[in-house]
Structure 1
Amino acid sequence: MYLEIVSPEATLFSGEVDSVAVPGVSGEFEMLKDHAPIVSILKAGNIAINGDVTLHEDVQNKFTKKDGKTLLAINSGTIEMKDNKLIILAD
């Protein structure tokens, strides 16, 4: 599936991934390829990306790696998943 993470300053990531776990307001949940369409609000926590992630040099310092996952800490955000494209607006 295709993932795009956008902050007020820049597009932090865009590319194909295997799965993404996000901190939803009612608890963490994970999306895989062919997930049902969803719009949700995110709370403070980590976005965990599974897959072969290549980051641009100018945003590498915003991400960490742990247990084979690429993590991005956020304060809040929203997501939309539709037709195997996940867009995360993160703050």
Structure 2
Amino acid sequence: MNLEILTPDKKVFEGEVTAVTVPGTLGSFQILKDHAAIISTLEDGEVIIKANKADEQRFFIKGGVVEAIHNKVVVLAEGIA
């Protein structure tokens, strides 16, 4: 699936991933391929990106929103720490 992480200033990440974990308002949750469509607010916390079993990247965001639909995930973060 395709993931984009955007802030008001710049595009932080864009690429194909196998999983992304985001800090939802009611707790962190993971989005995988073919996830049901979802829009959720995000708290300050860590976004964990897995491109494959060995490759993992982490970003600390300052709140925002995530949308996932048709294997495209967009994280609109207020900022990156």
TM-score (norm 2): 0.90
Per-residue deviation, residues 34-76 of structure 1 (Å, max 9, x unmatched) = 0000000000100000015xxxxxxxxxxxxxx8521000110
Identity %: 42
Q: Where do 1:5-84 residues align within 5 Å?
A: 5-51=5-51, 68-84=55-71
Q: In structure 2, the residue corresponding to 1:48 is in which secondary structure? A: strand
Instruction: Report how many aligned residue pairs link the two structures.
Output: 77
Q: Name the SS for the 1:9 alignment partner.
A: coil
1:25 alignment partner AA: T
**C-alpha RMSD of matched pairs (Å):** 1.3
Going by fraction, where is helix more abundant, 1 or 2? 1
Look up the match of 1:90.
77
- Which runs of at least 4 in structure 1 moved beyond 2 Å after TM superposition? none
**CA distance in structure 1 between the aligned counterparts of 2:44 and 2:15, rounded to whole angstroms:** 23
Unaligned runs of 5+ in 1: 53-66
